[in-house]
Structure 1
């Protein structure tokens, strides 16, 4: 009996130590669970900016974050680098892996036709010029013209801002081009705070855009940012001679869902990732705007904010260069602008004062309307 009591007395402190360890372990698990619950609750956004949203999508809020997204959100896609929707052998024939070594506040992905060397030159020498924190990348497909390909290689060597996918550079392959642009961001420039996808025949009022991003949103980036010109009620084109033709075998719907006019789209990285990941699972159609910003957007339950009033399409008039746009903020030009128009816009806006915020837009619009009455 005495021996038995001694054995129990030896085990007593060990049991107490084990109980303490068990308590600590449970507390750690509880803390991790609480942290996970907090993350889930705050991921949808509780700290909203006061920026006025468009009435068309009145419930949407663009919200801020205090630090850049961690790379872990993109980790799941790394095994699919060679996949691009229905292509299983995708790769970049031209790429600069060091293009995003420096911090990137705004990544501008420009869809450019391979033979648009002059368009790219105009952008480099106008609205892109001398801007720190901005990285511009021109996105091309492959071509069969050996001389033109040689010129593109030289262009890439000089500027380091060209990427080229191994799909043919044709209008029917525009969806591949946009998705390859998204792929570049996710794999090679994933720390960018904001992403602007735009066509090479458009104008960007870059000083005002930067003020909007920094002052109306956040210098550290935002979540849930999805800005474009809103389109709705568009019928699927069944005319075989049209460049927008889509066969009934590829798409049985008569109308597209609401989507973005893809000549410009402004995104936060989390939205870009969700659009990219979802589009990878859809059947390919060549109308990239409808597929990515319509069908994929619907599946992601994303809502875009219409910024038509901040584009040249708002007035449907030629810029008069008479002071009108000093008080009516303009962020983007419009589709199919000529090089001469882009240069003229840039020369005009670079000489004008820049609004610090788009919060003054309503006041400015009221002033313009009162002048016209």
Structure 2
């Protein structure tokens, strides 16, 4: 680590570069020495100016970084130590609207499910939702699956500028009663907000579920195999179950750009990909408890299952090796043979075709 002092009569600044991250630090011992020197020379105006600048900068970074004076580090761009970054912060810096435009408050009122499937969806994916409702989520229609468990599905939306899309969602809910709409603008950049709103809904209206799966609406899941693995998840210190990513690095340009201000470190903590991850409601509740006090990232899976999970001391349980391949769609027969747990990038047609093979054409796979 190299340090260079700038020859300023105002607060001393120090330029540092560590692991490729450039920061400028205020050197407060040098500031005190400068105050004493100016005071001896009776430079009252310069002394007052120095004190004012120091106070303004310190207060600015306290509010900018939101880490509290007890954890204060006078570093430009909020490049704070990793230990501090992953500690619960004392001040609320983000929140979500706790009121819902469509609350879905009756979905779990009469009975709490074994598994709640929380789908993230958009209005134009109506055909996917129709296929999901009629195929693999009907757990008691899976061949050779004799366990009777209750599954509930909910589809989560925000609000849209096009009122026709909002009206479409209202009509769909009138028909199926499985829709919830949060009071936020639905967009890619609001994906983290969307998921946190959904998890808050779970805590408020369906906290009695045994497990909750956050899942994308282009996903096909092998429900009997999923049940087998869920039964192995411990009750105490329950982890997040998902496809685990380790040693992933932030992208500093492109679609998934994350600035050094937003995340100042070179690697993310372990996290699970956002296609599907599962946990008990109390695990997600622990993550919600620290979410409002942490500046949010647009990368929903990294932020929720990685950063927030680390702050909340939530561990991970990885899918068994080979049960999911993120770069290739699983073949229908892989579900019949129980060699794949789930697959992504399924269109409505893909879902129906896979379900037809699973329920009617299994002999072709054996």
Unaligned runs of 5+ in 1: 1-83, 354-373
Q: CA deviation at 1:300?
A: 2.1
Unaligned runs of 5+ in 2: 1-91, 141-148
Q: Contact between 1:222 and 1:268, CA under 8 Å: does it hold in 2? A: no
Q: Would you say 1:167 and 2:184 are equivalent positions?
A: yes
DSSP 3-state at the match of 2:196: helix
DSSP 3-state at the match of 1:228: strand
- Map of 1:189 onto structure 2: 206
DSSP 3-state at the match of 2:342: coil
Which residue, 98, 111, 126 being the options, matches 2:106?
Answer: 98
Which residue, 285, 288, 291 being the options, matches 2:297?
Answer: 285
- Map of 2:341 onto structure 1: 331
**1:58-92 Cα deviation digits (max 9, x unpaired):** xxxxxxxxxxxxxxxxxxxxxxxxxx971364421
Q: Contact between 1:279 and 1:291, CA under 8 Å: does it hold in 2? A: no
Distance (Å, rounded) in 1 between the aligned partners of 2:115 and 2:265: 36
Q: Would you say 1:109 and 2:115 are equivalent positions?
A: no
The 1:273/1:352 distance shift into structure 2, 3 A limit, reads farther
Which residue, 165, 172, 195 being the options, matches 1:148?
Answer: 165
TM-score after normalising by structure 1 = 0.64
**1:263-311 Cα deviation digits (max 9, x unpaired):** 1001112211112212222111111111111111111222211105363
RMSD (Å), alpha carbons: 2.5
The 1:185/1:319 distance shift into structure 2, 3 A limit, reads closer
The 1:92/1:306 distance shift into structure 2, 3 A limit, reads same
Distance (Å, rounded) in 1 between the aligned partners of 2:174 and 2:184: 21
The 1:325/1:150 distance shift into structure 2, 3 A limit, reads closer
1 or 2, which has the higher helix percentage?
1
**1:99-140 Cα deviation digits (max 9, x unpaired):** 102231111111112332222112112112365611111111
Q: Contact between 1:85 and 1:279, CA under 8 Å: does it hold in 2? A: no
TM-score after normalising by structure 2 = 0.65
- Map of 2:226 onto structure 1: 209
Distance (Å, rounded) in 1 between the aligned partners of 2:113 and 2:93: 27
Q: How many residues align?
A: 262
The 1:348/1:291 distance shift into structure 2, 3 A limit, reads same
Distance (Å, rounded) in 2 between the aligned partners of 1:85 and 1:288: 17
1 or 2, which has the higher strand percentage?
2
Which residue, 122, 126, 129 being the options, matches 2:135?
Answer: 126
Q: CA deviation at 1:195?
A: 0.9
Q: CA deviation at 1:238?
A: 2.1
